[in-house]
Amino acid sequence: MIIATAGHIDHGKTALLEALTGHSGDTRREEQERGITIDLGYRYADLGGAVTLGFIDVPGHERFVHNMLAGAAGVDLALLVVAADDGVMPQTREHLAILALLGIARLWVVLSKCDRVDAQRQAAATAEIKALLATGPYAQAPCFALSSLTGYGVSHLRDALLAEARTIAQDADKNHFRLSVDRAFSVSGAGTVVTGTALSGRISVDDNLLLVDSSGAYQKVRVRGLHAQNHTAETAQAGQRVALNLAGDRLKAQQIQRGNWLLPQALLNPSRRLDIHLNVLADAARALEHWTPVHVHLGAQRLTGRVALLEETRLAPGSSGLAQLVLDSHTQAVYGDRVVLRDQSAWHTLGGGIVLDPSAPTRQRRTATRLTQLHALAQGGLEGALPTLLSTADNGLAPESLERHFNRPQHSWHLPQGTLSKNTASGPRLFDAALWQQHRSTLLEALTRFHQEQPDEPGPDRSRLRRYGLPFLEPAVFSALLDEALSETCIAASGPWLHLPEHQVRLSDAENALKARLWPHLEAGGINPPWVRDLARLENCDENQVRALLLKLARLGQLHQVVRDLFYPEPTIEKLAQCAITLAEGDNQLEVVEFRDALGLGRKRCVQLLEYLDRLGVTRRFGNQRRVREESSLVLRIKTR
């Protein structure tokens, strides 16, 4: 069990832990000289039970609240220390608010320095504390009156802590390991050591992790050794104070800052935007305005940024709403993490919230669809939000992203009924079955509409159909949708053209008559057919009419348009491809001059023909040479004749 102190400066937090554990605190020279705790202190003790308790001593001075926040994340129980002679003070209130914002479920009140007051003052201080707690989540918190100096009441608190430790389950959760570093130092003969409270999961010696800093950069490290609750161990788990001896390429303790993260590859998600459900403190000095600059505390990390309110332009004290934190540095949050916001001067706590989306979007963050998603996330966890998230995700949800955002391995999920899993070029995606069927219908409707508008075209290619009918789908998702429709013969393909199975492009009687007149000229021209203008002159007809017919024949696959106004019949293109294959035999190299000499055409025309063969996939250019692509369907067809 991890226990943290909280409370106003000089109310006896450090003395209390010394009385409980027998170990003195404030070991730093400046702390001893000034008589106050400046940074986090850590102590461990077996108070008579089988479980080692970890204690975090936090500073009470208002100037060091940021240090208090760094040590308060991940604790099981907080001891709010209030001196009987002073009673409730400013940092008593602020620390209490912070504990509530961090979601610390258990809080006990310690009324310290009872040896300095009489029974009447002790009763008055107790009443003051009860009034402070009455309207918050800790209204039923027990109160322990004691004196760290005389020992009065200390044994009673110690016995209660031991009993509480036995009731708190120490089984590690099934999620991935996460640790926010609060200290880093070097140990002679061992190397770099980092400490922190394990926020989730398990870690063992020889495990590999990523050490991630606030820039989003990371370094691969290996756990050489570890301590859990101040004892050498092979494995540590969520809820324990952990010290990890790390090994990494040129790893130095001086490079590691408080707030760096240790986590596995599966959780790597550096982000500068967090969507949160924000609560403004009831005793805040003023309303929280949109785009207010703030200090953000998450785990042991402190960042700066701004608050973008998503539903209102301002939040009054005591109110709540959806917001996006736009940070100046990167963090490694997951769903459910608690954040605390302080003002720009880092002097006053403004409020805090729960992370709903650790990879918030940069655009369309206030749309009705997005707000619906965030409200669903605010109501429940992964399973509770999935139906809404799936029904509003046109491109589906990547399981890896969900695992990373919620820190929930996929084997522990319970997917809602009607969830489809589809494989795409970018990996598997989860879809709502009704939404997927809607995409199918939209695809067929778009293709039907295209045929109605362009009856003379065989159909669009893949990219054109996506732009025409479903531009909001990612290419990988659209391809999966289209491939499914093709496999079920809802859509047919003729070369690159997509069409409904019953759709056919037919020539009119006039077009058939003109084709009969033009085709002999194209065949007679061989590898040097006439241009459009020459065909029009030979048959004494309109040039635009000839061009339109030849383009239509090209779409039908009967002609190849090499360049504008120059068309080759299919057999002629196969003959040219055969020539290129023959010339490249041996060393599989072909140059323009060889092709030119073999055909007896001009260099310019030969370059045009070779570039067209490149586009067909018959050849591939490398500098001034070309090589035949053996995998080309046309090459395979020619070689197997």
Burial of 630 (0-12, 13-18, 19+ CB in 10 A): exposed
Task: Give the residue among 461, 462, 475, 473 at the shortest CA–CA distance from 426.
Answer: 475
CA distance 614 to 628: 9
Between the two ends of the chain, the Cα-to-Cα distance in Å is: 78
CA 112, 65, 334: angle at the middle one, nearest 5? 115
Task: Give the residue among 193, 101, 86, 191 at the shortest CA–CA distance from 138.
Answer: 101
Backbone angles phi, psi at 452, to 5 degrees: -65, -35
Task: Give one DSSP letter per residue of 495-559, joined into a string.
Answer: TTEEE-TT------HHHHHHHHHHHHHHHHHTTSPPPHHHHHHHHT--HHHHHHHHHHHHHTTSE
- Helix (H) or strand (E) segment spanning residue 491: none
Count CA within 13 A, CB hemisphere, residue 351.
29
Mean pLDDT within 442-465: 92
Neighbours of 301 (CB within 10 A): 27
Backbone angles phi, psi at 629, to 5 degrees: -90, 105
Crossing angle, helix 532-539 and helix 509-525, to 10 degrees? 110
Residues 6+ apart with CB under 8 A from 555: 456, 457, 458, 497, 505
Do strands 77-83 and 559-563 pair parallel, antiparallel, or not at all (unpaired)? unpaired
Burial of 44 (0-12, 13-18, 19+ CB in 10 A): middle
Mean pLDDT within 522-539: 95
pLDDT at 600 over 90: yes
What's the DSSP call for residue 397? B
CA distance 565 to 531: 6
Contact 161, 2 (CB under 8 A): no
Task: Give one DSSP letter per residue of 175-206, joined into a string.
Answer: S--EEE--EEEEETTTEEEEEEEEEESEEETT
The number of angstroms, rounded, from the C-alpha of 428 to the middle of its chain's C-alpha atoms is: 16
CA distance 634 to 429: 35
Count CA within 13 A, CB hemisphere, residue 230.
13
Identify the structural domains of the chain with CATH numbers, from first to last: 2-167 (3.40.50.300), 178-267 (2.40.30.10), 271-370 (2.40.30.10), 516-639 (1.10.10.10)
pLDDT at 238 over 50: yes
Long-range contacts of 203-208 (CB under 8 A, 24+ apart): 203/177, 203/179, 203/235, 203/236, 203/237, 203/242, 203/244, 204/234, 204/235, 204/236, 205/234, 205/235, 207/177, 208/264
User: pTM of the entire structure?
Assistant: 0.76
Kindly state the percentage of the chain with pLDDT values over 70: 92
Mean pLDDT within 84-94: 89
Neighbours of 563 (CB within 10 A): 12
Contact 552, 456 (CB under 8 A): yes
CA distance 169 to 1: 9
How far lies 261's CA from each of 60, 67, 195, 267, in Å? 26, 17, 11, 11
> Residue 65 has what pLDDT?
54
SS (H, E, C) 18-82: HHHHCCCCCCCHHHHHHCCCCCCEEEEECCCCCCCEEEEECCCCHHHHHHHHHHHCCCCEEEEEE
pLDDT at 614 over 80: yes
Residues pairing with 355 in the sheet: 276
- Convert the pLDDT of each residue in 169-194 to its tens digit: 554 567 999 999 988 999 888 889 99
Mean pLDDT within 528-532: 96
CA distance 259 to 330: 11
> Residue 57 has what pLDDT?
73
Q: Check residues 567 and 52 and name the one with the higher pLDDT.
A: 567
Task: Give the residue among 216, 219, 212, 226 at the shortest CA–CA distance from 250.
Answer: 219
> Residue 441 has what pLDDT?
97
- Convert the pLDDT of each residue in 248-293 to its tens digit: 999 999 999 989 999 999 999 999 999 999 999 888 889 999 999 9
- Convert the pLDDT of each residue in 15-71 to its tens digit: 888 888 776 654 444 434 444 344 456 677 776 655 677 777 765 444 545 565 655
Q: Check residues 165 and 539 and name the one with the higher pLDDT.
A: 539
How far lies 185's CA from each of 94, 193, 448, in Å? 31, 5, 68
Dihedral angle at the C-alpha atoms of 83, 84, 89, 91, nearest 10 degrees? 20
Across 186-190, 371-375, 405-409, least confident range? 186-190
> Residue 156 has what pLDDT?
92
CA distance 81 to 13: 6
Mean pLDDT within 159-174: 72
Across 269-273, 293-297, 461-465, 556-560, least confident range? 556-560
> Residue 172 has what pLDDT?
53
Mean pLDDT within 244-251: 93
pLDDT at 93 over 50: yes
Q: What is the mean pLDDT of the chain?
A: 88
- Helix (H) or strand (E) segment spanning residue 99: helix 90-101
* Maximum distance among all Cα pairs of the chain, rounded to whole angstroms: 121
Dihedral angle at the C-alpha atoms of 545, 551, 557, 561, nearest 10 degrees? 120
